Amino acid sequence: MDSSTLDLHPLHRGAEADLFLSELPPWKAVVKRRVRKAYRHEELDAKIRKERTVRESSAIHDAKIAGARTPSILGLDLERYVIIMTFIDGMVARDAIDTMGNSRRLPLLEELGRQVGFLHSAGIVHGDLTTSNIILPDGGKPFIIDFGMATKSSEPEDRGTDLHLLQRSLIATHALEATSSFKRVAKGYREAAGEETTRSSLRKAAEIARRGRYFAIR
């Protein structure tokens, strides 16, 4: 697909990619274009951007097949290192969680755990699982976005890192009570990932948290 014909409106500028709002009737679309890094050799930079574009689009596609709610891929323009995907209209969870009462927040945490469980069951590790990368449509269930750091892995260490990042985001950004909030995440995760995967993932998440505390007090 040739993304140069699309009408682009700046949405967000990031370190690795720029996001634009566009339309690909009948859909509103997000155009994600990986940016050139001047410090890298030009040929190497092009190779890295192309590989990461393909890897991210594959992770989004595989996550959706696994049952997770993600944007849908509408097209790729590998010559311009572009992914075109559906626009998810809603609030970023980072900006919404603190305004919720428990009657809405607790089911949300459970659903987030379920979504992560779908990813991990399919061997997908998000890599940047924070409330900044979760969109909450009005009255709907959460979508996970930004798979730019996603990898394929079935290692408990990698799954545990994902869960630790989410737990740390909930506690540090939103000051939620650690035990009760993460119990709800774990409940949803267990429903999607099963008991064996849940045990190994949570065990590793706890180990990673202990390592962080150890290094913090040295």
For the domain that residue 42 is a member of, what is the CATH number? Answer: 3.30.200.20
Prediction pTM value: 0.91
Q: Identify whether 77 is a catalytic site residue.
A: no
Judge if the upstream peptide bond of residue 10 is cis by omega within 30 degrees of 0: no
Q: What is the mean pLDDT of the chain?
A: 93
Tens of pLDDT, residue by residue over 115-167, are: 999 999 999 999 999 999 999 998 789 999 999 999 999 999 999 999 999 99
Identify whether the C-beta of residue 199 lies closer than 8 Å to the C-beta of residue 189.
no
φ and ψ at 52, to 5 degrees?
-70, -35
Tokens of 21: 């709002």
- What's the pLDDT at 212? 66
- What's the pLDDT at 217? 35
- What's the pLDDT at 218? 34
158 shares a domain with 203: yes
* Domains in the chain, number: 2
Which ranges of the chain would DSSP assign to H, the alpha helix? 42-65, 93-96, 102-121, 156-174, 178-193, 195-217
Q: Which of 77, 98, 128, 138 is catalytic?
A: 128
What single-letter amino acid sits at 77? D
Domain end among 86, 120, 148? 86
- What's the pLDDT at 211? 83
Identify whether the C-beta of residue 92 lies closer than 8 Å to the C-beta of residue 135.
yes
